[in-house]
Structure 1
Amino acid sequence: MTEPPQKMARREQAGKAKEEEAPTDASIIIQFQSATGETTGPQLDIPHTVTPQQLETLLNGLLANEDKLPYSFYIEEEELLGELGAHLAAGGLSVEKALTITYQPQAVFRVRPVARCTASMPGHSESVLTVQFSPCGTMLASGAGDTTVRLWDLNTQLPKTECKGHKNWVLVVAWSPDAKYLASGDMNGSILLWEPASGKQLGACSGHSKWITSLSWQPAHRPGALPSSRFASGSKDNTVKVWDAATRRCVLSMSNHSALVTAVLWGGEGLIYSASRDCSISAWDEADGKLVRVFKGHGHWVNTLALSSGFALRTGAFDHTGKAPADIEAARAKAVERYAEATQGKPERLVSGSDDFTLCLYEPSVGKTPIARMTGHVQLINQVVFSPDGRFILSASFDKSVKLWDGARGTFLATLRGHVGPVYQVAWSADSRLFASGSKDSTIKVWDARTRKLKVDLPGHADEVFTVDWSPDGGSVASGGKDRVLKLWRH
């Protein structure tokens, strides 16, 4: 008895679908390649069912690593997350010739996601506007609308010192990369320097006529930068100034902006970057303050800047355990080594976020034309941050979303939705696997960078969360906001 035509058609369709889903071949010839394009080992014939974990074991053997190191694998810029054959079939990729698999080392240590609030630390009598962990991860500073800077003891989770001296809202705090100084800037244009160990005020840097919007210290790997002595400031008075921390004097003053300077970053290649509401970004020579380059990629205010080496610049000679060599020369050598690891011999990359809803990605030492103009947000971008390994960029926007981008090419990777209010700030974990976001909706959310999914939802604040930071040792997240309470979150 013959089958009805409809049944035969359905069976043939099912057979075709099964063939399409079937793995590419019984075996696949691959060639490992490093991120810099160098081939590793010979071509290998492997089964189509191989997983990233098995590739990792194979690669560790080829590289003769005594300790097994973690790696992620990419095929034509797409990360391999499951079986190789299924990945190739899904992407319609040919295996007629040897398949190049690019590998990227991951952080050896793994940060655990924060899951609970371990301390609610009251003390500020107005909104907490800024929090920042020290480069070693053992200290925490906060600045608030009550004109004070507070230092917190992370062991006891209690206030350590209340630093008084400002006469107006404290808008920004910044640690020196050797953790010997803390600088803070306020709405009057005053910058105060503090000794973190004692909370003692070391003096004031006076020169700006309007509020301080940004502070950034000279990176530890630069010649003569240790012990830390110089830092840059940006102000509403349209100027950028460089200060000597020991004498509290202004050593350089730079001005070409025609509007408020929103962000200042001291880069690792000898340039100081400043972003402004005049829609431009300027690059200045750290030695003499001369204008080197102007970037004009945005059509509205530039709100935020980030560098691909930002984490290495922030932590200097400190590793993920919070330890650094005590000897100055050894610390400088360690800082140079960590910066070299972060850049891998490639030019530093700079990303900017703007009120025009876009991001621009640059290689400032190479040219002033953007590598990529990144679009997708539908409201202003409040903050951009590179992951510690420089492979990803996060952007936080008033459109209630966080977007994830490729850090090298600027290509869009994912939109993370979960907040019901504008997202003010984002912060990466030190291993680049997790990140936290703080929002007007009063919550902190922790996300997984690999799965692009929400990991933990952390309600607890009674009002808007203005600021969030993840400690360099990975152990804690700090947040502060309109409810005047500083919270510590741990696993």
Structure 2
Amino acid sequence: MSQAVVVYDWKGGTRCQSFFGHSREVTKVSCLSGSTWLFSASRDKSALMWQMGHDADPVQEFCGHELVVNGLAVSPDGRKLCTGSRDNSMCLWDIESGECLQKNTISRNLVTHVCWVPASTTIVQTSEDKTVRVWDSRTWQVTNTFPTKRHIQTHCDISSDCYHVLSSSNGFSGQGCESTLWDLRQPGCKVVEYRGHLQTTTCCVFLPPSHDCGAMVASSSHDCSVKLWDQNSGACLYTLTLDGSGPLVSLAPSDPANLLCASFNMGLHHLQLSQSPTLSLKVTSRF
């Protein structure tokens, strides 16, 4: 059911554990690297914390938003949780107590996604008001707003070196539908755009570095395609179309050779990236 949080062993294709506690659809999930903690956001206006290997009941609840929670990010030290909502607010929570430490509401800031920059106090979020905002978690204030795009910004991601941000755009019939690379060191600096999807680009991610090829970016779209891009030039290197899967909604790279893709109709796809003899992306399993 769509209210459940389900953990899979993607290598084995088996279900490990399911968690139930939300009363409406789950919108985002996140985890703290190196821990057994999981976090979920929902249309029921809440975020919940779970622990792998324990009872299926939530171990912490974060309630205070007035509308669906679309943004979810854990601080690098595992002590705080950031949430963003369609109620125009961003909240900072103490994970241990569940207390809301900070709340900031900005007119028209309908949050679509949130990323915490590794090893920093910086948070990046995208919004339906077509902007990308940068926050300081110490003051809970916006420190920079990137130039407004022409379409809703649906997703964001942070490069492993913490220098760059990716954001993706809503759109239709090839208008909009792009991903944009921004430089965090030069506020408002647009580096390159990745254009080629025909419908809304729902997700854009940096791929882990590989010795076999240069820096790459991957994107997924409502047009049922996953595209690989040269990060620096913006050239499309490969397109995989997943016919029958319906709109593709998110991507999660695990290492330079493996990528997970969530679809509307056919669940999760395990995609494998190969460099031999030429660059390719293929489905190895579904679950």
What TM bracket, shorter-length normalisation? 0.7 to 0.9
| 1:426 and 2:255 correspond | no
CA distance in 2, matches of 1:444, 1:252: 36
CA distance in 2, matches of 1:191, 1:349: 19
User: Please, which runs of 5 or more residues in structure 2 have no aligned partner?
Assistant: 1-8, 275-279
**As a proportion of its length, which structure holds more strand?**
2
The residue type equivalent to 2:141 in the other structure is C
CA distance in 2, matches of 1:234, 1:417: 26
User: Which deviates more, 140-149 or 447-456?
Assistant: 447-456
Per-residue displacement from partner, 1:238-274 (whole Å, max 9, x unpaired)? 7766555455x436464xxxxxxxxxxxxxxxxxxx4
Tell me what 1:213 maps to: 112
Residue 204 (structure 2) aligned to one of 384, 387, 405? 384
Per-residue displacement from partner, 1:125-146 (whole Å, max 9, x unpaired)? 1010111112435321111011
Tell me what 1:400 maps to: 224
Distance 1:443 1:242, change over 3 A: closer
- CA-based RMSD: 3.3
CA contact (8 A) 2:179 2:201 kept: no
| 1:438 and 2:262 correspond | yes
Residue 183 (structure 1) aligned to one of 73, 82, 100? 82
The residue type equivalent to 2:79 in the other structure is K
What does residue range 164-313 of structure 1 map to in structure 2 within 5 Å?
164-196=63-95, 198-210=96-108, 211-220=110-119, 225=120, 228=121, 230-236=122-128, 243-246=135-138, 249-250=140-141, 252=143, 254=145, 274=146, 276=148, 278-279=149-150, 301-307=152-158, 309=159, 312=160
CA distance in 1, matches of 2:30, 2:69: 13
Q: Give the TM-score normalised by the residue count of structure 2.
A: 0.75
What does residue range 449-464 of structure 1 map to in structure 2 within 5 Å?
449-450=273-274, 452-458=281-287
The residue type equivalent to 2:256 in the other structure is S
Distance 1:246 1:362, change over 3 A: closer
Q: CA deviation at 1:114?
A: 4.5
CA distance in 2, matches of 1:348, 1:162: 32
Percentage identity across paired residues of the two chains: 25
Q: CA deviation at 1:447?
A: 1.1
Distance 1:144 1:199, change over 3 A: farther
Q: CA deviation at 1:124?
A: 0.6
CA distance in 1, matches of 2:190, 2:92: 35
Tell me what 1:148 maps to: 46
Distance 1:114 1:426, change over 3 A: farther
CA distance in 2, matches of 1:402, 1:414: 6
Q: SS where residue 231 of structure 1 aligns?
A: strand
Distance 1:215 1:303, change over 3 A: closer
The residue type equivalent to 2:242 in the other structure is R
Tell me what 2:18 maps to: 120
CA contact (8 A) 1:128 1:142 kept: yes
CA distance in 2, matches of 1:194, 1:349: 24
Tell me what 1:474 maps to: none
Distance 1:453 1:176, change over 3 A: same
CA contact (8 A) 1:231 1:243 kept: yes
User: Which deviates more, 351-360 or 443-452?
Assistant: 351-360
Distance 1:242 1:303, change over 3 A: closer
CA distance in 2, matches of 1:349, 1:188: 24
CA contact (8 A) 1:139 1:153 kept: yes
**As a proportion of its length, which structure holds more helix?**
1
CA distance in 2, matches of 1:121, 1:185: 22
Residue 163 (structure 1) aligned to one of 62, 75, 78? 62
CA contact (8 A) 1:419 1:439 kept: no
CA contact (8 A) 1:394 1:405 kept: yes
User: Which deviates more, 163-172 or 122-131?
Assistant: 163-172
CA contact (8 A) 2:225 2:239 kept: no
Q: CA deviation at 1:190?
A: 2.7
Q: CA deviation at 1:359?
A: 3.6
Q: SS where residue 59 of structure 2 aligns?
A: strand
Q: SS where residue 447 of structure 1 aligns?
A: strand
Q: CA deviation at 1:417?
A: 2.0
